[in-house]
Structures are given as C-alpha cells and as structure tokens.
Amino acid sequence: MWLLEIEDLSVSIGSKQVLKNFNLRINRGETHALFGPNGTGKTTLLNVIAGIPRYTVDAGRIMFKGKDITHMSMDERARLGIGMAFQRPPAIRGLRLKDLIKIINPKADATAILKKMDFEAFAERDVNRGFSGGEVKRSEMVQLLAQQPDFVMLDEPDSGVDLENIKLIGEAINSLTQKDQRPSSRTKSGVIITHFGHILDYMKADRAHVMLGGAIVCSGNPGEILEQIKRSGYEGCAGCSTCPV
C-alpha cells in the first residue's frame, strides 16, 4: 500500500483550474522533490493535501494510509500524520513558540528541539512575529520536529535561508524523513518544493518530479532532473524522453 496516493486530482480556486488530472504516489520511507516554475500548482498541491479549505476538488481523490482524506478537515489530517512547513506562515500574537511546541505535542522535548535548530533564543518569542525569512523556516522545522508527522511537506524550506542554516534545515529534514536510518527501516516520507535545489546538497531526496501547468511532466532521479533543468529549463523537461514519467 502506498503511503500517499493521489489519483486524477483536479483542483480549482474560484473559476481557475490549478491542478489537472494530477497523479502522484509516494511510498513509505521515500522523499520526493517537486520542481517547476512559479504558478504551476506546486504550493496548491501541498495545500490541498494539507486540507486548506480555500480550494475546490473537482475530481479525483487523495488516499493517505489507505484512507480517502479528500474531504477530511485539516486537523484530522494532521492527527493522521500529515505535517507541513509553510512557505510564508502567519505570525501569532501572544503565542510563545515554546508554548506552541507543548500544544502540538505535550511529550515533545522542547529544549532539545530548540537546541537542535539553534533556536533557543526564540523560545519566548511570539510565533513567527518579527522573524526574518530564515528564522521563519527554522520556526517551521521546530514545530515539525515536535509534531513528528509520518508525511512531511516542505514548501521552499530553503528560501531566504543563509548557507549555515540551510545545512541545519537539511539535517532536520533528514531526521524527519529518517534518512539517518537504514532504507529498509524507514517509515516516514516527505515531499519538498525547492527552486534552486541548494537544500538537496544537505538532504536526501529519492525521487523528483517536474510540474508544468498543473501536472507532472517528468519524474526521475533528483540529480539528473536538476541537471536537465539547468541545461534546458523547465520546458526542456516537458519533451524529455530520458526520464520516464
């Protein structure tokens, strides 16, 4: 059984169709990377899997752990094991980061998690309030490390992050997706959106896909696909015959 299986999913916002007959399968223990130009539906895909209610699913379904989650509420999906690092999360006034960690998971070791992300100084700060771009990303990782989802979605976790912290974030993603364990014993999975692929120098992705116009046009080895994009752009991927879809 696949951990995540998306079948012929069509999604729109208002009158605009964003995903068209979209298909994707992710196994337990696998981490996939998503490439593609802006506006091609990558963030929408993640938001729809997370269950953000602004989108309309016109056709198809999303299966997670064998359950049809297409119309499940966000919090039910989260409790089922789906986690998300947002690209631009909101700030929450009056909610301290260390308190949020405890709310997300009362058993989490907040001190250890904050230390791991070199984020102890932010424990007493309001969540994301006045944080820089890179700090927001570390705040997201801290929360996910507390949540320990079985399937983690990362929407540009490397944007606005300096080199030193990209390494830290890469390590956190490896830990969330159990890349520190033997492949056969991994059960956690992930999907990551990245534009430049720098983060892939610090974390392991098993497979990559290129999205264009709301659908996957090419899938394969992350390194090879990145090379292909650098060589001939995203459009080159559309007609690529070397990587089988």
Partner 1 sequence: MQHVSGIEDKAKAARKKKAVYGTDVDLESYESEAKPQEIVADAEDLPSVVRKAALDVGVKLDSESSGAYVQMDQTPVVAKSLYEGVEIMDMASALEKYDFLQDYWWKLVAPDADKYTADVASAPPAGYFIRAKKGMKTVFPVKSCLYLGSTDLNQRVHNVIIAEEGSELHVITGCTTPAHVQRGLHIGVSEFFIQKDARVSFTMVHSWGKEVEVRPRTGITIAEGGSLSNNYILLKPVKTLQTFPTATLAGRGAVASFNTVIYSTMGNIDVGSNVNLNAAETSAESISRVVSVGGEVIARGRMTGRVPGARAHLECVGLLLSDKGRIYSIPELDGQSRDLDMSHEAAVGRISEEELEYLMSRGLNSEEATSVIVRGFLDVEIKGLPEDLKQEIKNITQREDLKGAP
Q: Where do contacts with partner 1 occur on this chain (CB under 8 A)? A: 50-53, 73-75, 78-79, 83-84, 86, 89-90, 92-95, 100, 103-104, 126, 143, 147
Residue 212 C-beta: closest distance to partner 1, Å: 27
Alpha-carbon gap, residue 56 to 12, rounded angstroms: 5
Nearer to partner 1, 92 or 163 (CB): 92
Going by DSSP bridges, is the β-strand pair 215-220/82-85 parallel, antiparallel, or unpaired?
unpaired
Structure tokens at 124: 């007493």
Alpha-carbon gap, residue 228 to 58, rounded angstroms: 33
Residue 216 C-beta: closest distance to partner 1, Å: 24
Residue 220 C-beta: closest distance to partner 1, Å: 30
Residue 89 C-beta: closest distance to partner 1, Å: 6
Structure tokens at 125: 């700060």
Nearer to partner 1, 86 or 131 (CB): 86
Q: 221: helix, coil or strand?
A: coil
Residue 86 C-beta: closest distance to partner 1, Å: 7
For residues 101 and 125, is the Cβ–Cβ distance under 8 A? Answer: no
Residue 124 C-beta: closest distance to partner 1, Å: 11
Nearer to partner 1, 52 or 63 (CB): 52
Q: Rounded to the nearest 10 degrees, what angle do helices 133-147 and 163-176 cross at?
A: 20
Residue 15 C-beta: closest distance to partner 1, Å: 20
Nearest CA among 168, 191, 243, 232 for reference residue 35 = 191
Other Cβ atoms within 10 Å of 81 Cβ, number: 17
CB proximity list for 14: less than 8 A, separation 6 or greater: none
Q: Where are the alpha helices (DSSP H) in the chain?
A: 42-50, 74-80, 97-104, 110-116, 133-147, 163-176, 222-238
Nearer to partner 1, 75 or 164 (CB): 75
